[in-house]
Copies of this chain bind each other. A is one copy, B any other.
Amino acid sequence: MTDDVLSVRAAELYYEESKTQDEIGTLLGLTRWKVGRLLSRARELGIVRIEIVHPRARRLPLERELRERFGLRDAIVVPTPNDGTGLTQRVAEAAADYLRALRPVPRSLGVSWGRTLDDIAIHLPDGWARGVDVVQINGGVSLNRRAGSAATTAVAIARSGGGEATLLPSPAILERRETRLAIEADRTIAGVLELAAAASVYLFSAGPADGTSVLVDSGYLSHGDVEELVRRGAVGDVVGRYIDANGNIVDPELDDRTVGISLDQLRAAGLSIAVVAGPAKHDVARAVVGSSLCTVLVTDEDTARAVLDTNSPASRQFNRQKREAS
């Protein structure tokens, strides 16, 4: 009888029949230490597979690897559902959980807006915290089709967190640089931006560099604009600013017309939580984490693996080209 088969027998008796290692030893004619060793071996070799099946499960080994490899303060990885349904909900739920358990409770929370942030807001129960003031960190109120979504997100988070919401009453992207300078000079806007810059915690998502982006959906950019950005290396946007795989601004001119805190301000933050999930966002996720735009990442398992998979930078190229082709 080979050691392998013995491992299997021991594992069966231990895990399925709940026998003690000593009993198994007698049964198989081995010492209980040998049995213990066989069991360890069985787990190492993957003969015994322990799986945690639950929508709220997490992937701690991946989280640890992300923390270590990228010096993240924290990482939250939820399992990717087999058929992909409900992925955004699960990630949003995890983000809400994280925010809720965050200590010390943030005094002021800077938030971006978008579908992901909406979902997070929904999953934050009333009274999840007390006295959390929320401030919008990038523009985008007026043009959004689903009226006021950007505003309602921030307001909802502030309300359930027992604080005040401060909105940034400005478009996300203006047509001329001068307009941006002008609007930022306005006392109201300037005040909000100051507040945003002083937030103790940032919570934001990232959009993919394709037609499904909220910036396209909201009318700030055309499909053609996005295609051009992709051609120039864009992998996605963070607080309305398009970045390439290295986390650099793709189009300085466009960036100069974008209202909100800068990427460097985000990088300088003590605690910035990025919530990025889904197959379309693998590339942005990699860029965000790789260029230190966040200190905490909330994501799904597949995206986490994609981020960690530095061995295949080719895949990035491949994905980009595929998207260009379509």
Chain A interface category by residue count: 20 to 34
The answer to whether A51 and B52 touch across the interface, beta carbons within 8 angstroms, is: no
Spot the interface stretch: A11-19, A177-185, A246-254, A288-296: A11-19
B8 touching A54, Cβ below 8 Å: yes
Q: Which residues in chain A, 52-68, are within 8 Å of chain B measured between CB atoms?
A: 52-54, 56-58, 60-61, 64
**Complex: chain B residue closest to A13, CB-CB:** B60
Most B Cβ at <10 Å: residue of A7, A9, A64: A9
- Check if A53 sits within 8 Å of B49, measured CB to CB: yes
Minimum CB–CB distance for A44 against chain B, Å? 12
| Contact bitstring A68-88, B, C-beta under 8 A = 1, else 0 | 000000000000000000000
Decide yes or no whether A190 CB sits under 8 A from chain B: no
Q: Which of B9, B13, B48, B56 is A50 in contact with, Cβ under 8 Å?
A: B48
Give the copy number.
Answer: 2
Taking a contact as CB atoms closer than 8 A, the residue among B48, B52, B56, B64 that contacts A52 in the complex is B48
| Contact for A56 among B4, B53, B64, CB less than 8 A | B4
Bound form: Cα–Cα A46–B60 in Å: 19
Q: Assess whether A58 is in contact with B12, with CB atoms less than 8 Å apart.
A: yes
A277 to chain B, nearest CB (A): 19
- Would B47 and A49 count as touching, CB distance under 8 A? no
Q: Determine how close the nearest CB of chain B comes to the CB of A17; give it in whole angstroms.
A: 5
Alpha-carbon distance A7/B7, docked complex (angstroms): 28
Shortest distance between the CB of A211 and any CB in chain B (Å)? 37
Q: Is the CB of A17 within 8 A of B60?
A: yes
Known contacts A47-B52, A48-B52; is A57 also within 8 Å of B15 by CB? no
A60 in contact with B5 (CB, 8 Å): no
A49 contacts which of B5, B17, B52 (Cβ < 8 Å)?
Answer: B52
Query: Given A13-B60, A17-B60, A60-B17, A8 and B48 touching (CB < 8 A)?
Result: no
Provide the bound-state CA to CA distance between A47 and B58, in Å: 12
CA distance A89 to B202 in the complex (A): 60
**Apart from A8-B54, A49-B52: 13 A-B pairs, beta carbons within 8 A:** A5-B56, A8-B57, A12-B57, A12-B58, A12-B60, A15-B52, A16-B50, A17-B60, A42-B52, A47-B53, A48-B50, A49-B51, A49-B53
10 pairs, A vs B, C-beta closer than 8 Å: A8-B54, A8-B56, A8-B58, A13-B60, A47-B52, A47-B53, A48-B51, A49-B51, A50-B51, A51-B51
